[in-house]
Amino acid sequence: NASGVKEFVLLGLSENPGVQKICFMMFLAFYTIILVRNLLIVITAISSQRLNSPMYFFLYYLSFVDICYSSITVPKMITSFLHKNKTISFVGCIAQLFGVHFFGCTGIFILTVMAYDRYVAICRPPHYTAAMTRCVCSRLVMGSWVGGFLHSIAQTLLTTCLPFCGPNEVDHCFCDVHPLLQLACTETYAVGIIVVANSRTITLSCFLILVASCVVILVSLQSQTLEGWQKAPSTCRSHITMVVLFFGPRTFIYNRPSSNLSEDKSMAVFYTVITPTLNPLIYMLSNEEVKSTMRKLW
C-alpha cells in the first residue's frame, strides 16, 4: 500500500452503546454455538468409523470451513462492541478480506460438491461406490479449496492495487470489497464491474447447480424405489434451505453494481454469523445416524 492510509476504522452496526451491548451478547452467544456445534461434528467425524461415507466426508470439511469463516470476522466484531477503538490495520484489513472470500467461496464449492454427491447417491445408486471413491472425494475437496483461493486472491489483488489516501472509515462490520471501493482515491467503476462479474459467476453458477440437482433428483424418482423416495425429500429440503440461507444474501450483495447500501451490513451479519450456526443443524444434527454416533462417542 503506497498510499497514506495505514489503518481503517470499522463503523460496525451501530454507534448506540445500548445496541452495542446487546450485539455483544448476541454475537458472543452465536459464535460460541458455531464453535461448539461445528467442533463437535468435526471431532465426531474424525473419531467415528461409522461416519465414513462421502457425505460425512464433505460435511466434516464444511464444518471446518464454517469455523474458519466465522473466526475471520466475528471475534473482531465482538471486541469492537466493547472498545471505542475500532481500528484495524491496512494489512489486517486485507487479510480479513482475503479470509472472508477464501473460506466463503470454498464453502460454496463444497455445498455444490455435496449436491453432486447426493445426485449420484439417489439417481445412480449402483455406480455410487465406484464414482465417489475416497480419492475422488479428496480431489473434489481440494478443487474447492483451490477454487476458493483463486477467487479470493483475485478479489484481494484488485483491492490492494487501489490507492487509499483518506477517509479511512469503513461503513461495514468487517473489511470487504464493496465498502473498500468507496474509499479508494480513484475511479473504481471498472474494478467494481470485475468484482461483481467474478462473484456473480460463482454464486449464480453454484446456485443453479444446487437447484438443478434437486429438480433432477425429483424427476428421476419416477423410476426409483421407495428408499429413493425416502432419501430425496430430506436431501432436497437441506439443499433448498441452504440455497435460501447461504446464497440469498450473497446474491443480493454481489449480483448488483457496486454501492454502499445499508442493507449490506445486516446481510453480511446473516451469512457470517447466522448461517454457520444453522449449518450443523440443517445437515447433521437432524440426522439420526449422526446423533446416535455422537451419543455413543461422547
What DSSP string runs through 15-71?
A: --HHHHHHHHHHHHHHHHHHHHHHHHHHHHHHH-SS--SHHHHHHHHHHHHHHHHHH
Q: Are 58 and 110 in contact (CB under 8 A)?
A: yes
Q: What is the pLDDT of residue 235?
A: 60
Q: What is the torsional sign of CA 131, 136, 140, 143? A: negative
Q: Pick the closest to residue 27 from 64, 63, 79, 96 (CA basis).
A: 79
What's the pLDDT tens digit per position in 120-173?
A: 887 887 888 888 898 999 999 999 999 999 999 999 999 888 888 878 888 888
CA–CA gap between residue 220 and residue 125 (Å, rounded): 12
CA–CA gap between residue 206 and residue 156 (Å, rounded): 21
Q: What is the pLDDT of residue 231?
A: 55
Neighbours of 99 (CB within 10 A): 19
Q: What is the pLDDT of residue 166?
A: 75
pLDDT along the chain (298 residues), means of 10: 74 83 90 88 79 82 90 90 85 93 92 86 83 91 96 92 85 86 85 82 83 79 59 62 66 55 67 78 66 74
Q: Are 99 and 93 in contact (CB under 8 A)?
A: no
Q: What is the pLDDT of residue 283?
A: 64
Q: What is the pLDDT of residue 102?
A: 95
Neighbours of 8 (CB within 10 A): 25
Pick the CATH number of 7-297 from 3.40.50.800, 1.20.1070.10, 3.40.50.300, 3.90.180.10: 1.20.1070.10
Q: What is the pLDDT of residue 260?
A: 45
Give 103's DSSP letter: H
Q: What is the pLDDT of residue 177?
A: 86
Q: Are 283 and 62 in contact (CB under 8 A)?
A: yes
Q: Where do we find the cell 461422547?
A: 298
